[in-house]
Structure 1
Amino acid sequence: MIDGWIVGRGAVDMKGAIAAMIYSASKLKEVRNNLYYVFVVHEEDQEGFGIKYFLEERKIKPDLVVLGEATGLKVAVGHRGRVELLLKIYGRASHSSMPDLGENALLEGCRVLLKIRENQYTLPSHPVLGRASIAPVAMKCTPGEIPVIPDCCEILLDRRTVPGESKEDIINWLKGFIKRGEVQVRRKLVKCYTGYMQEVEGYFPAWYMNGPFARRVARLLGTEITVWRFSTDGAYTAGEGGLRTIGYGPGNQELAHCPNERIGLKNLFKSVDGYVKIANLDIMSLSSED
């Protein structure tokens, strides 16, 4: 602890909010609603994975989901989605001393990346969540060694989406830049520390729920409406499941995952009071507001 700040990895994302939520439960003088405090794993690499498992396993359909991701004590009502795209570019191998006899997949991959950069500003935009984006994050080719011209180049892309974009639209936009190749939504095997394993798809829908309910909660807490710049478990609860979802948490989202990650004690204790107020909402009387 330094000058009123808790400093360290995970202080903002998510140790601070988890501590505040747990402590807020002890502050409840009466329990108006059926409350579940759910803390799940794998949100960083496969958002929605843990909470989906919990809700399906318990057969629960909540009237409200409150995510504790950092909001600066504002009420978050959405974020862009994301898709993990695997782009495969095909060429023809030859001896690298005779490159003219082959088709260099690595060079072709570079050409495609330049086309993506030139056209990224044609991606759709949302008036609040902002513009969709695309960023290459990894690249490899095979066989990837001298003296062979590569016949395949794989590029991993982080595509951020806005509401209304379909999986097909996203893939077809990329296919327009490829001469020989394919575009896939990446699939991977998630392994939990419990031993549970599941193959999953890297697709997480965007969502935006700035309705009367969220605005009423913001007024109750004396704060404002905001959105996240990153993705959260709301990609499943709201984006896929259609469940009413808001975010409220201490800490600034810009400090998450940073070398100087830190959370202020004052905001931490304010969030405790906020969680108590949210827990005491008359959810049923507000159920028709959205």
Structure 2
Amino acid sequence: MSLDFKQILAKAEEYKSDMTKFLRDMIAIPSESCQEKEVVLRIKEEMEKVGFDKVEIDPMGNILGYIGNGSRLIAMDAHIDTVGIGDISLWEVDPYKGKEEGDVIYGRGGSDQEGGMASMVYAGKIIKDLGLLDDYTLVVVGSVQEEDCDGLCWQYIINEDKLKPEFVVSTEPTSCRIYRGHRGRMEIKVTVKGVSCHGSAPERGDNAIFKMAPILMELRALHENLKDDPFLGKGSLTVSEIFFTSPSRCAVADSCTISIDRRLTAGEDDKLAIQQIKNLPSVKAANAEVTMYTYERPSYTGLVYPTECYFPTWTIPEDHPACQTLVDVYKGLFDEEPVVDKWTFSTNGVSIMGRYGIPVVGFGPGHEKEAHAPNEKQFKSHLVKAAAMYAAIPLMYVKKYAK
């Protein structure tokens, strides 16, 4: 079977209204992390309607739809959980209505990341319609809990479902560009202890909040001096939360804890990042405890799959067969050179490639800047482009690059 790019694009355009309706249906179902059951059932309904060969929901609650039965396993992934809506007064539209306005579809999850799911499902239909099958099996994954703990779902899929594809296409928003990596991240906790006493005589105690103050200043200086990388950019660090314990507002605080969001560039890992903080003079002087957060929140099925909050940096080379497959398909469909770049934020690639070395390449509808923002937008034209890409990728890979 050969690829007729014009025919694929025409089919994708034909299904624009179906993809729009499906996306609006998903937007209308609130699906924050660990509450994805109803949107997963809606996705299952659509996969079965368009003719997927097999649809399964695993014990964690991820949905996996299969097309074909060949020997080469290729996966595409969209996390189908969303963040909350935040301050509703910042929204000019109902976040759960999926309002249409020309090319735009508004609503929470439109770009991050249910638009990718809409395009993947209809790519499956295009593959079936046009007979774009070969010696491959395509598995379309709707993954859960990514917003809470990126990559946890794929730790489960790889370790427990035993699904190990040759490569994975991440459908996180890329503005219809091709992305081949991003910085990693980790969530760090620093705690200092003090001694409480009455606030009228603070000299009798040891104020943990004051002990944290020089640590904060040295962390800000550490951020300025973190490693840079020509492709991924600079490592970064910010203090995102602060907590304390105290007997009352009329007492000296006896503990103080901060949370640190640490972004890791090339050559940085969890051990390095922890040690950099432990080496700070103020941390040593305060005898502060520096640890990594862990995640143990149950999925909507009740399953608990604990992990450390470490999400490794990853990239694949631009000349990698997975990346070149997407470049070839893009040029064939759109008769222009694609932009090959990286994400600023983190994706499930932290597990797929970062932990397990399974190549990931990104192409998604929507813009990264729409993620977590009020009045989040998706674009019908992007859904069409993405569906055409996803339909052509497996056959291009098998014909040209699979050994």
Is the 2:110–2:376 contact (alpha carbons within 8 Å) kept by the matching residues of 1? yes
Is the 1:13–1:257 contact (alpha carbons within 8 Å) kept by the matching residues of 2? yes
Deviation at 1:224, TM superposition (A): 1.7
1:88 is aligned, of 179, 188, 191, to 191
Aligned twin of 1:197? 304
> Partners of 1:166 and 1:233 in 2: how far apart?
17
Secondary structure of the structure 2 residue equivalent to 1:38: strand
Equivalent residues in 2 for 1:178-193 (5 A)?
Answer: 178=283, 179=285, 180-193=287-300
Secondary structure of the structure 2 residue equivalent to 1:173: helix
Deviation at 1:216, TM superposition (A): 4.6
> Partners of 1:144 and 1:250 in 2: how far apart?
51
> Partners of 2:317 and 2:366 in 1: how far apart?
21
> Partners of 1:144 and 1:204 in 2: how far apart?
36
Aligned twin of 1:258? 373
> Which string of whole-angstrom CA distances, capped at 9 and with x for unpartnered residues, describes residues 151-200 of structure 1?
21010111010122132211111112302211000013121110111222
Aligned twin of 2:5? none
Aligned twin of 2:266? 163
Secondary structure of the structure 2 residue equivalent to 1:18: helix
Deviation at 1:138, TM superposition (A): 0.8
Moved over 6 A (4+): none
Deviation at 1:285, TM superposition (A): 5.2
Is the 2:196–2:246 contact (alpha carbons within 8 Å) kept by the matching residues of 1? no
Is the 1:42–1:49 contact (alpha carbons within 8 Å) kept by the matching residues of 2? yes
1:14 is aligned, of 113, 118, 141, to 113
Is the 1:74–1:218 contact (alpha carbons within 8 Å) kept by the matching residues of 2? no
Is the 1:12–1:256 contact (alpha carbons within 8 Å) kept by the matching residues of 2? yes
Secondary structure of the structure 2 residue equivalent to 1:9: coil
Is the 2:325–2:393 contact (alpha carbons within 8 Å) kept by the matching residues of 1? no
More displaced stretch, 267-276 vs 164-173: 164-173
Aligned twin of 1:61? 164
Aligned twin of 2:146? 43
Is the 1:163–1:205 contact (alpha carbons within 8 Å) kept by the matching residues of 2? no
- Residues 188 and 216 (structure 1 numbering): CA distance in 2 closer, same or farther, change over 3 Å? closer
Aligned twin of 2:13? none
Do residues 221 (structure 1) and 330 (structure 2) align? yes
> Partners of 2:400 and 2:365 in 1: how far apart?
27
Identity %: 30
Secondary structure of the structure 1 residue equivalent to 2:343: coil
Deviation at 1:75, TM superposition (A): 1.0
Structure 2, unmatched stretches of 5+, are 1-99, 332-337
- Residues 239 and 287 (structure 1 numbering): CA distance in 2 closer, same or farther, change over 3 Å? farther
Secondary structure of the structure 2 residue equivalent to 1:26: helix
Secondary structure of the structure 2 residue equivalent to 1:228: coil
More displaced stretch, 98-107 vs 75-84: 98-107
Equivalent residues in 2 for 1:276-287 (5 A)?
Answer: 276-283=391-398, 286-287=401-402
> Which string of whole-angstrom CA distances, capped at 9 and with x for unpartnered residues, describes residues 129-157 of structure 1?
11011111111111262222112101011
TM-score by length of 2: 0.69
More displaced stretch, 23-32 vs 152-161: 23-32
> Partners of 2:398 and 2:159 in 1: how far apart?
22
Equivalent residues in 2 for 1:67-216 (5 A)?
Answer: 67-143=170-246, 145-177=248-280, 178=283, 179=285, 180-212=287-319, 213=321, 214-216=323-325
TM-score by length of 1: 0.94
> Partners of 1:266 and 1:59 in 2: how far apart?
35
- Residues 104 and 284 (structure 1 numbering): CA distance in 2 closer, same or farther, change over 3 Å? farther
- Residues 96 and 218 (structure 1 numbering): CA distance in 2 closer, same or farther, change over 3 Å? same
> Partners of 2:353 and 2:396 in 1: how far apart?
20
Is the 1:5–1:262 contact (alpha carbons within 8 Å) kept by the matching residues of 2? yes
> Which string of whole-angstrom CA distances, capped at 9 and with x for unpartnered residues, describes residues 21-47 of structure 1?
000100012322111111110011111
Is the 1:189–1:200 contact (alpha carbons within 8 Å) kept by the matching residues of 2? yes
Is the 1:63–1:283 contact (alpha carbons within 8 Å) kept by the matching residues of 2? no
> Partners of 1:170 and 1:30 in 2: how far apart?
46
> Partners of 1:284 and 1:165 in 2: how far apart?
37
Is the 1:67–1:248 contact (alpha carbons within 8 Å) kept by the matching residues of 2? yes
More displaced stretch, 278-287 vs 80-89: 278-287
Structure 1, unmatched stretches of 5+, are none
Aligned twin of 1:275? 390
The aligned length equals: 288
Aligned twin of 2:96? none
> Partners of 2:329 and 2:116 in 1: how far apart?
19
Deviation at 1:9, TM superposition (A): 0.6
Equivalent residue letter for 2:198: H
Calculate the aligned-residue CA RMSD, in Å.
1.6
Aligned twin of 1:239? 354
